[in-house]
Amino acid sequence: MKAKIGLEIHVQIVSLRTKLFCSCSADYRDKPPNTNVCPVCLGLPGTLPVLNERAVEEAVKIALALSARVNRTSYFFRKNYFYPDLAKNFQITQYDKAGGLPLAVGGHLKLSSGKKVRISRMHLEEDPGRIFYETGIQEARYSLIDYNRHGVALVEIVTEPDMETPKEAREFLERLASLLDDIGIPVSRYEGAIRCDANISLKGGARVEVKNITGFSAVEKALAYEITRQSNLLKRGIKVERETRHWDERRKITTSLRKKEVEEEYRYFPEPDLPPLSIPESLIKKVEEGLEKPAEQAAEEYEKLYGVERTVGMRIAKEKRLRRLFERAVESSPDRAKALASLLANEVAFMIKRGVSIPERPEGLLEIAKARQDGADREIILDLLSDWVEGRQVVYRKVERKVDLDSVVGQVFAENPKAVEEALRNPKAINYLMGLAIKKAGKGVDKKELFSRIREALDRRRRGV
């Protein structure tokens, strides 16, 4: 049964040295409880948060790696709720309502099937502390709190409900983790560096949120459990209500935490101790450049993934604009990669050399690549390119070229009398003439028709006509 699954993922920015709002170490693991703390992250009266600028840079890096749009100005908000793992009993986070804007919006990550899972928003926030129930949450008569982790920088990534199976959800997380590893935020190396909550709904039922899922296989299991549970309810005609459930790792089931009717009241409002977070264009540029692979590596990938010749790939990878265009355009139509590459490495590269200013949008280029694939004339290609450069819509219609096939054949015969002689004696030698004729007529020619014209011409010769 197909489901609609969305994920809310919390990623610790493990590449940082310090916490998000104070200078305590970000490396809180394996330290005696409550030793990696200071007045700020303990929320002592009178302390104030100071934003870690490196955290902003790393968060922007994640956003760009997911092709998200970074908001030039975003805001910190307080999310107010009482819980012992929050030293201030509010969490400093970002918000997308009440005039707030998150760090980034949009973006996507692709699954192996080619399916895109869209990202709806991303924001920066502080990690809460950790609560230990020595005997398990149900039986514990007291709990222990460790604030060592409190204040570590998190990026929350919220996806659209684009996944349909538990397996896809798991794959998304695995791909995200490996992407983060690749860009220098090695989440796979640290336990609990990537955590998630899942939203799942089946047709005819309300959305259920599952919390407390640790580990990617647990996500798959918890979601599979939910699908079984919800579809059983639906089969029996029982309404699936909107609620929040808790994944019980030990019993491998989900249990109800709270119905959404009593939805928590977070009383969000702008954090008065922090000015708006403005991200200059220069930072985005800097991060963008840092994310780029060396040209050799990129060219190697073009070859492996799309069969683009290495020398052509290098010409593209070396020029930032060509590279960006290629990588943006090729995603949606990998089958046109070679034609696209040839177009960029030749015509477009030449335009750049001549000082023509090239648009950043890849739209239209694929259309031109198709023309190249179809063997369209150079003039047509150049025409389409100028439409693209000048921002007009690029429309390519395969034009049936009215080549006079008989005159092509006539010319080939006239230029190659020996080959004609040979073909008259040996039917196999006809292929050589065919090759010459195709060359002359151009790639788009109707080969079947051309072949029969050649045969007719040879026949006429035999008959002495």
Partner 1 sequence: MRLERLTALELVEEVKSEAIKAEEVVEYFLDRIKRLDPKLNSIITVNEAVRVGKGALAGLPIVVKDNISTKGIRTTCGSRILENYVPPYDAEVVTKLKREGAVIIGKANMDEFAMGSSGENSAFGPTRNPWDLTRVPGGSSSGSAASVAAGLAPISLGTDTGGSIRAPASFTGTVGLKPTYGAVSRYGLIAYANSLEQIGPIGRSVKDVAFLYRIIKGEDEKDSTSLPSPDFSLKDVEEFEARGVKVAVISNLAEKVDEPVKKRFSRSLDLLVEAGVEIDEVEIEVAELALASYYVIACSEASSNLARYDGVRFGVGCRTNTSWREAYREVRRLFGKEVKVRIMLGAHMLSTGYFEEYYLKAVKVRRLLREGLKRILKKYHFLLMPTMPVLPWKIGEKLDDPLYVYLSDALTVPANLAGLPALSLPAGFEEGLPVGIQLMADEFQEARLLGMGLRFEEKVGRPEVAEL
**What is the contact surface with partner 1 in residues (CB under 8 A)?**
39, 42-51, 78, 80, 82, 84, 87-90, 98-99, 143, 145, 147, 265, 267-269, 272-275
Closest approach of partner 1 to the CB of residue 279, in Å: 16
Is residue 342 helix, strand or coil? helix
Tell me which residue of 193, 108, 184 sits closest to 153, measured CA to CA: 193
- Give me the half-sphere count of Cα atoms (radius 13 Å) on the Cβ side of residue 39: 6
C-beta separation of 375 from 442 below 8 A: yes
If the CB atoms of residues 143 and 217 are measured against partner 1, the closer one turns out to be 143
If the CB atoms of residues 147 and 225 are measured against partner 1, the closer one turns out to be 147
Closest approach of partner 1 to the CB of residue 100, in Å: 12
Closest approach of partner 1 to the CB of residue 103, in Å: 17
Strands 243-248 and 208-213: parallel
Write down the residue that tokens 């006809």 correspond to: 430
Closest approach of partner 1 to the CB of residue 142, in Å: 8
If the CB atoms of residues 142 and 235 are measured against partner 1, the closer one turns out to be 142
If the CB atoms of residues 145 and 179 are measured against partner 1, the closer one turns out to be 145
Structure-token pair, residue 178: 């490996």
Q: How far is CA 364 from CA 330, 361, 367, in A?
A: 12, 8, 5
If the CB atoms of residues 55 and 371 are measured against partner 1, the closer one turns out to be 55
Write down the residue that tokens 């934003």 correspond to: 51
Write down the residue that tokens 């407390």 correspond to: 212
If the CB atoms of residues 88 and 116 are measured against partner 1, the closer one turns out to be 88
Closest approach of partner 1 to the CB of residue 263, in Å: 9
If the CB atoms of residues 131 and 179 are measured against partner 1, the closer one turns out to be 131
If the CB atoms of residues 220 and 271 are measured against partner 1, the closer one turns out to be 271
Is residue 435 helix, strand or coil? helix
Strands 194-202 and 108-110: unpaired
In whole angstroms, what is the distance from residue 241 CA to residue 256 CA? 11
Closest approach of partner 1 to the CB of residue 277, in Å: 10
233: amino acid identity, one letter: L
Closest approach of partner 1 to the CB of residue 21, in Å: 9
Q: How far is CA 242 from CA 120, 158, 227, 234, in A?
A: 21, 19, 14, 14
Closest approach of partner 1 to the CB of residue 259, in Å: 17
In whole angstroms, what is the distance from residue 132 CA to residue 143 CA? 6
If the CB atoms of residues 43 and 192 are measured against partner 1, the closer one turns out to be 43
Closest approach of partner 1 to the CB of residue 143, in Å: 7
**Which residues make beta-bridge pairs with 146?**
130
- The full DSSP string for 147-180 is -TTTT-EEEEEEE-S-B-SHHHHHHHHHHHHHHH
454: amino acid identity, one letter: I
